Amino acid sequence: MTNPCLDADMLLGIDEACFSVVNDYDRNATLYSYFEDCYLCRGVPQAILPSRSNTTLVISTKYPLHIFYTLSYDYCHTTYNFKEHGSYGWNISEEHVCSKIYTLREPVNSYLPIFVTFMVCLLLMILFATAKFIIRVVRRKLSPDSVHDDLSRLQETETTNPVIRTTRSSTRIHSVDTFRGIAILLMIFVNNGGGNYVFFNHTAWNGLTVADLVLPWFAWIMGLSITISKRSELRVSSSRWKIILRCLQRAVILVLFGLILNSIYTKSLTLKDLRFPGVLQLLAVSYFICATIETMFMKAHSQDDSLQFGRFTILRDIVDNWAQWLIILAIVTTHTLITFLLPVPNCPTGYLGPGGYHKSGKFVNCTGGAAGYIDRLVFGDHVYSKTQNPVYGTILPHDPEGIMNTMSIILVVYMGVHAGKILLLYYQCNAKVIRWLLWSGVTGIVAGLLCHFDKETGVIPVSKKMMSLSFVLTVSCFAFLLFAVLHFLVDYKQYWSGAPFVYAGLNPITLYIGHTITAGLFPWAWKLAYPTHWSVLTMNLWTTILWGIIAYWLYLKDIIISI
């Protein structure tokens, strides 16, 4: 393959730079490197550096890079944060064993597209708010203010029955749909590439990015919707078992849709290659479990006389649902015990890492610990097939929506269920918002204690790949916080209608299935001859905006597709 750093007619790709190493030794050296995000890793050989020569390499700029070279006795280790499309040099010799890396050609500003996009969005928001304010002022000035007109309007009001148009969307809680819309549109954006930015893609293993929030947030708001829908169904239905059967029916449909979507990415149509777990499967199972628990134990009325005026009034949302919490905590405890106590062949008990280069490559066959072992044991080859990790190299198959991760996401869903109970049980906005903020603080503090407020060294690191306990508590913390803000702005003060996200929140499953089926197809996307952050970000934003337009069209037609 031709090296673009040595060919003027070729262009570097996204997150690539040139690195020239001048070896002034009279013998060959070996260049090693590994990403800074690779925890306790050993260097991976990158090139042989011939004596008295200049070797030019193409390197990745996604993460800061640890670099060192070895001879029979010489060793130099340095860390450098390379920038996109820059050209860098490094001289190694007996005189300068550990010289500094220098810049040969200045890099481009890879974050400029993000900044420009943010400023454009901010400007559009200001213009829209200004136009809305001007229209409101003009309407007030043009309205008739004479007594005769006032009496005429009063008489007309008394003699005419006003017609109020009620639609399916107008009877919904707008902050719920806005939250759901934020989650689904953000999911569409990151699933299509997120402009190829690291923070808009999932973490290599431990840590947290924007992309890691979208699925748990969708699960969280699904839990909140469970509270609202099941309370309504219990008021009009005499049989809890019929409600549970409807929940089972919905879960089965979601699983079937998930398998259909998985088959799109299967190279052949044989069952041998079909992935069984998936996003919709995870949502279906967690939905059915939480909805069933709520249907069995939830009271049909929002008021409970024994707690309304008692000493535990302030804790009604918790005390009134102690049975549900016991079941959820039992599931969480079971998940934790399996994670840390299940023996995994040839692996340390309680291992939570990715394998591969992790911890100097000592646990290459231990990817995902107990969770990965269970998925491979139960599903065999029917799991997530990508085994090339951008930081840790080749790892074993591990499904991010596998059995153990599905158990873990149940806690996120039930956190949403509890948020819904706060929404229904308390009438004053302050009482709701304070409780959501308290839950946000508690879950955030507990998550921080579990991970020691550090990316790698905690007892339970924050990991989306593992859906670790600290991860589900962290995303729940942000979910409580975001919903408290949305409820205050959208429903209580009505400073914001929730647009454009509220429209997407009306048909989230439709948008998710649609964007998966049309991925890479025109007019949603197209093949780029020379991808850059500018072009990829523009295309990904267009894909998201187009699905937002489709969601708005469904809203205008009063179409809400539910399963």
Q: What are 465-498's pLDDT values in tens digits?
A: 999 999 999 999 999 999 999 999 999 999 999 9
304, pLDDT greater than 80: no
pLDDT confidence of residue 139? 80
Lowest average pLDDT, out of 74-83, 367-376, 424-433, goes to 74-83
Domain final residue, candidates 90, 105, 120: 105
* pLDDT reported for residue 233: 87
Q: How confident is the model at residue 301 (pLDDT cuts 50, 70, 90)?
A: low
* Mean pLDDT (whole number) for 252-279: 86
Q: What does DSSP assign to residue 468?
A: -
The predicted structure's pLDDT at residue 170: 65
Q: Which residue blocks in 426-532 are alpha helix, DSSP H?
A: 429-451, 469-486, 501-504, 508-517
- Segment 109-130, tens digit of pLDDT: 999 999 999 999 999 989 988 8
Contacts of 285 (CB under 8 A, 6+ apart): 251, 255, 406
Q: Is 503 inside a domain boundary?
A: yes
Statement: residue 149 has pLDDT above 50: no
Lowest mean pLDDT segment, chosen from 27-36, 316-325, 537-546: 316-325
Residue 280 lies inside a defined structural domain of this protein: no
User: Which pLDDT belongs to residue 259?
Assistant: 93
Domain boundary among 72, 87, 105: 105
Give the pLDDT confidence of 337-351 residue by residue, as tens digits.
Answer: 999 999 999 999 999
Q: Can you say whether residue 241 is alpha, beta or left, with left for phi > 0 and alpha for psi between -120 and 50 degrees? A: alpha
What is the rounded average pLDDT for all residues in the chain? 89
> If pLDDT is split at 50, 70 and 90, which confidence band does 158 have?
very low
Q: Which residue has the higher pLDDT, 163 or 228?
A: 228
Nearest to 289 by CA among 300, 281, 299: 281
Q: What Å distances lie between residue 128 and 123, 184, 232, 496, CA to CA?
A: 9, 23, 37, 12
Q: How far apart are CA 264 and CA 344, in angstroms?
A: 33
Greatest mean pLDDT among 124-128, 252-256, 266-270, 356-360: 252-256
pLDDT value of residue 489: 95
Q: Which pLDDT does position 310 carry in this prediction?
A: 56
Quote the domain boundaries for residue 49. Answer: 16-105
Is the pLDDT confidence value at 140 over 90? no
CB 407 within 8 A of CB 334: yes
Within a domain: 425: no
For residues 385-401, average pLDDT: 91
- Identify the residue with better confidence: 23 or 167: 23
412-456 pLDDT tens trace: 999 999 999 999 988 899 999 999 999 999 999 999 999 999 999
Residue with the larger pLDDT of the pair 26 and 317: 26
What is the per-residue pLDDT for 129? 83
Helices assigned H by DSSP within 160-301: 174-191, 211-236, 240-264, 279-297
| Domain harbouring 33, CATH code | 2.60.40.2890
Answer yes or no: is 69 within a domain: yes
**Gyration radius (Cα) of the chain, Å:** 28
174 lies in some domain? no
Contact present, 350 and 339 (Cβ < 8 Å): yes
Report whether pLDDT(145) > 90: no
Q: Specify if 356 maps to a domain.
A: no
Please state, for a pLDDT cut of 70, what percent of the chain lies above it.
91
| Domain closes at, from 105, 130, 161 | 105
With respect to residue 410, please indicate whether it lies within any of the assigned structural domains. Answer: no
Say which range, 35-39, 171-175, 251-255, 388-392, has the weakest mean pLDDT. 171-175
Q: Has residue 84 been placed in a domain?
A: yes
202 carries an active-site annotation: yes
Query: Is residue 275 helix, strand or coil?
Result: coil
What is the domain count for the chain? 2
Least trusted range by pLDDT, from 123-127, 202-206, 306-310, 474-478: 306-310
**Residue tagged active-site, from 85, 174, 202, 398:** 202
